[in-house]
Structure 1
Amino acid sequence: MAEAHVELADIVARLRQTGVEFEDVEVKRAAGGLPQNVAETMSAFANSRGGLIILGLDERAGFAPVGVSDPVALRDELAGVARAKLTPALAPVIDAVPFEGVILVLAEIEPLPPLQRPCYVTTRGLYNGAFVRVGDGDQRLTPYEIDRLRENPGQPRWDEEPVSQATAEKDLDRRAVTRLIETASRNSPRSFSGLSEPDALARLGILVPHDGSLVPSLAGLLSVGAYPQQFFPQLMVSLAVYPHEDAGEPGPGGIRFLDSAAVGGTVPTMVTDTIQAAQRSLRRSSRVVGAGRDDYWEIEPEVIREAVVNALMHRDYSPQARGTQIRVELFPDRLTVTSPGGLFGNVRLETLGESGTSSSRNARLSALLQEAGDPFTGRPVAENRGSGISMMISQVRRDTGLVPLFTASLDDFCVTIPRTSLVTPELRAWARRLSRGQEFSEAQISVLALASAGYSVDIALLRRLGPGPSGARRQLSQLRDLGLLQPRRARDDGSYRLAPGLSEIAAKNEARSSPGSGLPERILEALGETDSASREDLQGATGASRSSVINALDDLITSGTVEATAPSRSPNRRYRLARS
């Protein structure tokens, strides 16, 4: 009880400091007994991340304690609501706790496992009585969100639906069909030996029965169709390039987009065309290697490819979502890919990129994309082994010192890929000033950079930056104990943001010079403090992107100021100040 009292005191102090409720805390005065909408709040907490209900505090009076007249009766009534008025029933931990001279009643609501959601107020029914927590309020779940929650325990089959208006003769790409059957026959010869083309296509799920005949399935059209958007105009990718970091801020002359594209076709075609469209607005750099040149993209094509393939393969294809396209948005500091439908199955945000984390919402389409090849290279579109996210994380970390950021709701999933490093010399100096003499790892500095830019940080983010589980916990705790990070919610659930009063670093980062400005001088300064350094070391020391560091090093080597210790393609290549 003493521990609960200490935690309650900390939560109330934060409520008084901010003056508003938190996403995970609901305060009720409860002067006239149990509030009527408490069942809605329980439903919302159970369908979200859980939460705490506090009865006996007055929000209008600055969260002053007013207490409750009969704590035992109120506690029993609250337990009765959880057991008898919600489906499925909840079992919250309910306590009467002394606080500042009065008695408060606390109810801790745990989040329901995804397979048991949604929790709803029984008398209102499923589609009118299910809520979710949004900000400091309870919001009714939409029918679309409820349907997605209900299908999560099973295997959706929207991608297997017949497209009744389509025919194999007119609406399948003959060359793509031939290549797919050849690949399937080569990979599984016993399953496809001796089959006619229609039988092979039926076995692959490209053709499905409808009114006594075989017609293309949705997955079939998306993998080898002539033009799927003839039947589903919004099953496409839209690309927009914005002039500013805020999509709503117009550019010079009121221009909204620097570039835009509507990309259609099959999934293999959309992947290739989206990469090419994005590259029109991405920087490309080169370095001299022997008699030739190596080219480097600001964001590697493989990273964009994985993000777009993931979106097209795992998006929601239910009828309610077929009017929503995948959005690829390019800002000066980041690229985002947003797809309809949240995470599915056993996939969780905190485990993305880890071995064994894979679940296919669209099983038929995923299987076909393992066989269907890129229209130009013949390379399979998808591996479907859960390794693509891990590759994306590793590549972005090598290029920028950061990692992709993932967010998900019931409605959509978004991946954010940084274009350049946020770890500037100014940020490093700021971190050193706040470290109180303690040494920060590169992962911790990257976490501070992301937090200063307004992103949430947690242990999963730290692990993607390199440290193992125990190291990530220790390093996150260090930043929290130094007062640099604070919990995003009233209760510490492991998600943090930059502590108040430190956010001015974000403004400094916005005003920083371009990533290449003064870079040769910063490289020389870094090399002057060591015998030699790798390209990755110099990236970390200067906060510049990989391509910028490579170009600056080439210039310094040409001028005779810096020398390399090994040939350009050697994995042991390092750099040092030239020796006279």
Structure 2
Amino acid sequence: MNINLIESQAVEFKQIWKDEYLKTICAFANSEGGVLYIGLNDAAVVLGIENIEELIEILPNKINNRLGLVVDIFQKNLENKNYLEIKVNKTYAPISHNGKFYIRSGSNTIELNGGNLTNFLLKKYGKTWDDVVEERFTLDEIDLKTIEKFKKLAKDRVPDIINEDNLEELLRKLNLYEGNYLKRAAILLFSKNPQQYYIQSHSKIGRFLSETDIQSSDIVEGNLINQVDMILDILRLKYLKAYISYEGVHRREKLEYPYEALREAVINALIHRDYTNTSNLQIRVYDDKLVLYNGATLNPEVPIEKFDKPHQSKPFNPTMASVFYKCGFIENWGKGTINIINECLEYGLPKPTFEYEWEAVRTTFYKRVDRKTINVGINVGVNVGVNVGVNEIYEYIKQNQPIRAKAISNYFPQITQRTIERYIKQLKDENKIEFRGIPKTGGYFAK
């Protein structure tokens, strides 16, 4: 007979005791606590153990001596078969076994190393990587032009910041000091040369003809506040095509991807990067997609599967995220990925995807390649689909219903907004389409 449990983050079954299971107890303590059962198989069937009295005698001391933990051990019985229940509480100090640290990930016990170990230890002591001081860094290394730029950007959310002329006092207000030392966040946000301290903090942009064939590339260095604008300027001027249209005498230019979505993705990547990871932010531009690779350690409370759903904000670098919010780079906490998706859909593009592999988040933007276009140069696209008429608009609505007028206009950038509206009115008058729902959330349907 089995007990009514399954193996999970907080439950593990073992048939007999082995000292290697001290790793499991260590992992429970370093995670959220858990229960280790001895005398059960993987299906939770009670097999029983014969030397239960001996284990009850020796295990408390062994666990205490080897791990420094005091655990609760209970003798259980089911259908005359004895088994042990070892309850482990979460600890607030890190626990090691033979000099190594373990945590639970799902129903597995994993060893921490590298950046994951560093971040685990910082978290146990109530710190994040960006909140640690860097004793070598001084005020003289702060870029004053970036400070002035920040003050102008932040005047709406922190109105009194524009009048703060004392550099040290300003940085203290931003929580970038601890005692007499500046924090790592100050280096990445405002340093003249942050790569002197963290060489991996630069970004790369490249145009790829295939996964291995690169045509051109750029390296973006400097502090993160400046990197945001530099990355977007390089993408816009060198790597991305722009569709040109005219409304009367006014020239309209639209990038092949929505600018606001790209901006949100770049800012998210810079804020959530795991800067203990030796890789840098990479932006790869292909003929049919744009991919951002960003070294990151995901918070278990916000797995990659939740990126396309409303979720709470858990910034990996909260000190930096706070500064980015104050200067208007972040508009809504926890809605960055949702905004990216909505911007792309409104633009008439496929839904972007978010994946996590090899300790990196991969964000992929897709563009439609079925438009009849001719491209002039690497950064300017002139759409020649001038023959698109009301029938093409009707077919597009049929294939993408419900759809809003803005999304139709974004999909056909060569057609003016006024013409789109005229086509929609014609289709409504001909009783071919109808608008369903309320103005803010509804859309057009084909009849």
Q: Given the two structures, how large is their TM-score scaled by the length of structure 2?
A: 0.63
Q: 1:243 is matched with which residue?
A: 209
Q: 2:379 is matched with which residue?
A: none
- Distance in 2 between the 1:350 and 1:88 partners? 37
Q: 1:386 is matched with which residue?
A: 334
- Distance in 2 between the 1:90 and 1:552 partners? 71
- Distance in 2 between the 1:240 and 1:106 partners? 59
Offset of residue 243 of structure 1: 2.8
Q: 1:405 is matched with which residue?
A: 354
SS of corresponding position for 2:330: coil
Q: 1:270 is matched with which residue?
A: 227
Q: 2:363 is matched with which residue?
A: 416
SS of corresponding position for 2:340: helix
SS of corresponding position for 2:282: strand
Question: Once the two structures are superposed, what CA deviation does each residue of 1:145-182 show, in whole Å capped at 9, x if it has no partner?
Answer: 233234336342634524525442xx333333234446
Q: 1:306 is matched with which residue?
A: 264
Distance 1:397 1:229, change over 3 A: same
- Kept in 2, the 8 Å contact 1:539–1:549? The answer is no
Question: Once the two structures are superposed, what CA deviation does each residue of 1:450-473 show, in whole Å capped at 9, x if it has no partner?
Answer: xxxxxxxxxxxxxxxxxxxxxxxx
- Distance in 2 between the 1:73 and 1:188 partners? 65
Q: 1:326 is matched with which residue?
A: 281
Can you give the 5+ residue segments of structure 2 that lack an aligned partner in the other structure? Answer: 374-384, 428-438
Q: Is 1:550 the equivalent of 2:416?
A: no
SS of corresponding position for 1:71: coil
Alignment-mate amino acid for residue 269 of structure 1: N
Alignment-mate amino acid for residue 298 of structure 1: E
Q: 2:216 is matched with which residue?
A: 259
- Distance in 1 between the 2:262 and 2:83 partners? 47
Offset of residue 264 of structure 1: 0.8
- Kept in 1, the 8 Å contact 2:281–2:293? The answer is yes
Q: Is 1:173 the equivalent of 2:149?
A: no
- Distance in 2 between the 1:186 and 1:2 partners? 62
- Distance in 2 between the 1:299 and 1:2 partners? 56
Alignment-mate amino acid for residue 265 of structure 2: A
Shifted more, 295-304 versus 177-186: the winner is: 177-186
Q: 1:343 is matched with which residue?
A: 298
Q: 1:428 is matched with which residue?
A: none
SS of corresponding position for 1:417: strand
Question: Once the two structures are superposed, what CA deviation does each residue of 1:54-85 show, in whole Å capped at 9, x if it has no partner?
Answer: 9779xxxxxxx9x99x91118979x9899985
- Distance in 2 between the 1:547 and 1:258 partners? 32
- Distance in 2 between the 1:400 and 1:51 partners? 48
Question: Once the two structures are superposed, what CA deviation does each residue of 1:321-370 show, in whole Å capped at 9, x if it has no partner?
Answer: 17442233345554333434423495454554666711344333223323
- Distance in 2 between the 1:241 and 1:107 partners? 60
Question: Once the two structures are superposed, what CA deviation does each residue of 1:524-562 show, in whole Å capped at 9, x if it has no partner?
Answer: 58947xxx937953989xxxx9789416878xx89xxx9
Question: Once the two structures are superposed, what CA deviation does each residue of 1:364-390 show, in whole Å capped at 9, x if it has no partner?
Answer: 322332344xxxxxxx33346333232
**Identical amino acids, percent of aligned pairs:** 16
- Kept in 2, the 8 Å contact 1:27–1:55? The answer is yes
Any residues of structure 2 matched to 1:64-213 within 5 Å, and which?
71-73=47-49, 124-125=97-98, 127-128=99-100, 130=102, 140-152=111-123, 154-156=126-128, 158-159=130-131, 161-162=133-134, 164-168=136-140, 171-181=141-151, 188=158, 196-205=166-175, 210=180
- Distance in 1 between the 2:341 and 2:202 partners? 25
Question: Once the two structures are superposed, what CA deviation does each residue of 1:165-218 show, in whole Å capped at 9, x if it has no partner?
Answer: 5442xx3333332344466677556688686444334434556665xxxx7643
SS of corresponding position for 1:565: helix
Distance 1:525 1:129, change over 3 A: same
- Kept in 2, the 8 Å contact 1:117–1:149? The answer is no
- Kept in 2, the 8 Å contact 1:564–1:576? The answer is no
**Greater per-residue helix proportion:** 1
- Distance in 1 between the 2:49 and 2:300 partners? 41
Root-mean-square deviation (Å): 5.9
Q: 1:367 is matched with which residue?
A: 322
Distance 1:294 1:42, change over 3 A: farther
- Kept in 2, the 8 Å contact 1:564–1:574? The answer is no
- Kept in 2, the 8 Å contact 1:392–1:404? The answer is no
Distance 1:305 1:75, change over 3 A: farther
Offset of residue 272 of structure 1: 1.9
Offset of residue 27 of structure 1: 11
Offset of residue 309 of structure 1: 0.9
- Distance in 1 between the 2:288 and 2:24 partners? 38
Alignment-mate amino acid for residue 174 of structure 1: L
Distance 1:37 1:139, change over 3 A: same
- Distance in 2 between the 1:194 and 1:228 partners? 24
Alignment-mate amino acid for residue 173 of structure 1: D
Offset of residue 414 of structure 1: 0.8
- Kept in 1, the 8 Å contact 2:244–2:413? The answer is yes
- Kept in 1, the 8 Å contact 2:228–2:263? The answer is yes
- Kept in 1, the 8 Å contact 2:294–2:362? The answer is no
- Count of aligned positions: 404
SS of corresponding position for 1:72: coil
Q: Given the two structures, how large is their TM-score scaled by the length of structure 1?
A: 0.51
- Distance in 2 between the 1:96 and 1:164 partners? 62
- Kept in 1, the 8 Å contact 2:401–2:444? The answer is no
Distance 1:537 1:166, change over 3 A: same
Question: Once the two structures are superposed, what CA deviation does each residue of 1:476-510 show, in whole Å capped at 9, x if it has no partner?
Answer: xxxxxxxxxxxxxxxxxxxxxxxxxxxxxxxxxxx
Match of 2:397 among 533, 546, 549: 533
- Distance in 1 between the 2:174 and 2:259 partners? 30
SS of corresponding position for 1:258: strand
Alignment-mate amino acid for residue 397 of structure 2: A
Distance 1:293 1:89, change over 3 A: farther
- Kept in 1, the 8 Å contact 2:101–2:117? The answer is no
Offset of residue 405 of structure 1: 1.8
- Distance in 2 between the 1:282 and 1:225 partners? 29
Alignment-mate amino acid for residue 550 of structure 1: F
Distance 1:91 1:385, change over 3 A: farther
Q: Which structure ranks higher in relative contact order (CA pairs < 8 Å, sequence separation ≥ 6)?
A: 2
Alignment-mate amino acid for residue 49 of structure 2: A
Alignment-mate amino acid for residue 130 of structure 1: Y
Match of 2:190 among 224, 227, 246: 224
- Distance in 2 between the 1:548 and 1:75 partners? 73
Distance 1:90 1:302, change over 3 A: farther
- Kept in 1, the 8 Å contact 2:308–2:337? The answer is yes
Can you give the 5+ residue segments of structure 1 that lack an aligned partner in the other structure? Answer: 9-22, 58-64, 98-102, 251-255, 373-379, 422-513
- Kept in 2, the 8 Å contact 1:535–1:550? The answer is no
